[in-house]
Amino acid sequence: MAIEFTKYHGLGNDFILIDNRSSSVTVVTPEQAIKLCDRHFGIGADGVIFALPGEDGTDYTMRIFNSDGSEPEMCGNGIRCLAGFLADLEGESRNKDLYRIHTLGGVMTPQLLFDGQVKVDMGLPRLLAGEIPTNLTPNEEKVINQPLEVAGQTWDVTCVNMGNPHCITFVEDVAAIELESIGPKFEHHSAFPQRINTEFIQVVRRDYLKMRVWERGAGITLACGTGACAALVAGVLTGNCDRTATVELPGGPLQIEWSEVDQRVYMTGPAERVFTGKL
């Protein structure tokens, strides 16, 4: 059976999007996703995203397989790309600019803006150790500036779950981090039983952060939406930044707000179609 796909990227974090609305079973297996994501022998991507039928009153369901075949709870850049993909699929029949998307990390609501950007209500950050999960503190406590030894060095880390788990550490110069060697050691550290995404953050100003990321299941990526959200939350918790800031990633900037009114986190950024094809 031929499978049509569309390649999208959000600030260089790229995905293969597949219309899976006719079935709740993905048309591609995790093993096949690994091959599709291969940048030499496949299409090349950080993950494969499926648009499935909605659950529990939502418009659609999102599932994603990382480039290593693992399945994360959700993906911030990916859900912006999914919103653009759904708008393409609906075409002239589209009658709204906001979708309610069911994910393993909860219901997310991306909104297509008039300037081509996508704003996503990422929900409430989960801050307790048991919600990350991590054993750095007791389950009912927050993980803020906790010492963590990795590769013979002690890092002060703050943990935030934004639909998937993140470990954030603030550094003087993100460019100096040897991400390829240190990233896997964070991801597979015994403190994180379900592995972890890790963000290294440089505070340029209270409203401007620079970030590099090692993503669980994907490695070094040019951008991570949930990671940018987690970084801002961690920055507020540690007194490093304001509640609204630009987070500069290698692929470009995201606008992040942790609302004082409803305590929800909002992410705004682009989603760009690259090309379409058939498998």
The C-alpha atoms of residue 158 and residue 154 are separated, in whole angstroms, by 13
Largest CA distance in the chain: 57
- Angle of the 225-237 helix axis to the 76-90 helix axis, nearest 10: 140
Nearest CA among 91, 85, 96, 90 for reference residue 49: 85
Q: Is 37 a catalytic site residue?
A: no
The C-alpha atoms of residue 197 and residue 179 are separated, in whole angstroms, by 12
Contact 163, 108 (CB under 8 A): yes
The C-alpha atoms of residue 88 and residue 166 are separated, in whole angstroms, by 31
Nearest CA among 170, 198, 195, 168 for reference residue 183: 198
Catalytic residue among 37, 81, 224, 241: 224
The upper half-sphere exposure of residue 244, i.e. CA atoms within 13 Å in the direction of its Cβ, equals: 5
The C-alpha atoms of residue 46 and residue 159 are separated, in whole angstroms, by 23
Task: Count CB-CB contacts under 10 A for residue 188.
Answer: 11
Residue 142 DSSP label: B
Q: Is 224 a catalytic site residue?
A: yes
Task: Count CB-CB contacts under 10 A for residue 189.
Answer: 20
Nearest CA among 21, 49, 70 for reference residue 195: 70
Catalytic residue among 75, 81, 167, 241: 75
Q: Give catalytic residues, as residue numbers.
A: 75, 224
